[in-house]
Structure 1
Amino acid sequence: MSASHTVQQLKAEWITPENFQRYGQVIFPSGDGQGFNEEDARLNLQNGIPRFYIMRLHNKGQKFYKITRHEKCTQCLGSLEGKDWLMAVCPPYNDIDHPVLEELAAFRIPGNCFIKLEVGTWHAGPYFDYEFVDFYNLELSDTNVVDHFTHDFIKSHQLAFEMV
């Protein structure tokens, strides 16, 4: 990171279905045999081949200055082994090509649920203080090649963020 920027603290609140609704869904466990309902993830994976995999992330910390979005699919993320983690998000205004800084929010996500990001939701993370965390990730097979749009807050606002 460049020396010519400010690090702003971003308070992470515990995620709930209500406070995360602008960005996507929070999916908690349901009973075996329960039918499809409004608490299930509403997926958009129609623009390619779905990819469901486990990604191992190392030493992520809690600081970021770049945020990304995907315009062709929803994305689901959840940690394995019950580890809590952090994610910063900005609403998916698909008619503009940058996140709205004033609407940046951070969430602490418990290890007993996963999140589904709406198409176009800006996101930075997952972040955590563990040595490593394995995450399951559902997106398209080419999401990180053809559908990966990143905004750099240091370049645009001389800002980096630390989730606390």
Structure 2
Amino acid sequence: MNPSIILKQLPAQIIIPESFQPYGQVITASVDGKNYDQTDAQLDLQNGIPRFYIMRLEKRGRKFHTITRHNQCTQCLGSLEGKEWLMAVAPPSVSSEPNLEQMMAFRIPGNCFIKLDVGTWHAGPYFDHDVVDFYNLELSDTNVVDHFTHNFRTRQHLEFEIV
């Protein structure tokens, strides 16, 4: 007998640096010539060749049943053209599963980007637009050798919808 899948709603809150801190950083515009400090993205890309590229995503919606983490690098994501988007996150952990009690969803405006800490679980980007281009900074082989995914559908019979 196949157990039924439970759909859980995950409310999205507007992202602010303080609420996103357990997962990474929110980076906003600064004046040209500002000295490097803790408000700049604190990157960890030492374990390989950095890759900065634009990825095009189509019709992502708001539902998900998998969440991923990268244990060898930070990752930066931001939308182009000022488009708002959504991301679900759970803090880094030694466990092979994300902590559901600490999983949150954020609404991210198009005038900032996020830096995910090493090991931060993340699902997304998600959005209501037909197409959104995102810039992505990670390592050149992140999706080959550093891509650990947890499937909520097969492990806990759960799916999520960001609302």
TM-score (norm 2): 0.97
Deviation at 1:3, TM superposition (A): 8.1
| 1:24 shift after superposition | 0.1
Deviation string, structure 1 residues 58-97 (Cα, Å, up to 9, x no partner): 000000000000000000000000000000000001x211
Do 2:3 and 2:157's aligned partners in 1 also have CA atoms closer than 8 Å?
no
Alignment of 1:144-163 (within 5 A): 144-163=143-162
Aligned to 2:74: 74
Aligned to 1:100: 99
Q: What is residue 20 of structure 2 aligned with on the other side?
A: 20
Work out the CA distance in 2 between the residues paired with 1:109 and 1:162: 16
Distance in 2 of aligned mates of 1:5 and 1:103: 21
Which residue pairs with 2:87 in the alignment? 87
- The two structures have a TM-score, normalised by structure 1, of 0.97
Structure 1 runs (4+) greater than 6 angstroms displaced: none
Q: Which amino acid aligns with 1:52?
A: F
1:18 alignment partner, SS class: helix
2:69 corresponds to 1:32: no
In the alignment, the residues of structure 2 paired with residue 148 and residue 31 of structure 1 have an alpha-carbon distance, to the nearest angstrom, of 35
Q: How many Å apart are 1:4 and its aligned residue?
A: 2.2
Q: Equivalent residue of 1:19, what SS?
A: helix
Q: What count of residue pairs does the alignment treat as equivalent? A: 162
- Where does residue 123 of structure 2 map in the other structure? 124
1:46 match: 46
- Supply the distance in 1 between the matched residues of 2:32 and 2:52 (Cα, whole angstroms): 21
Unaligned runs of 5+ in 1: none
CA distance in 1, matches of 2:162, 2:95: 25
One-letter amino acid of the structure 2 residue matched with residue 20 of structure 1: F
Equivalence for 1:142: 141
Letter in 1 for 2:106: F
The alpha-carbon deviation at position 38 of structure 1 amounts to 1.2
Look up the equivalent residue of 1:121 and give its one-letter code: T
Going from structure 1 to structure 2, the CA distance change for 1:3 and 1:80 (only over 3 Å counts) comes to farther
* Amino acid in structure 2 at the alignment position of 1:99: P
C-alpha separation between the residues in 2 aligned to 1:156 and 1:121?
19
Contact 2:91 2:102 in 1 (8 A): yes
For the aligned residues, what is the CA RMSD? 1.0
> Aligned partners of 1:80, 1:65: CA distance in 2, in Å?
26
2:92 alignment partner AA: P
- In structure 2, stretches of 5+ residues that fail to align are none
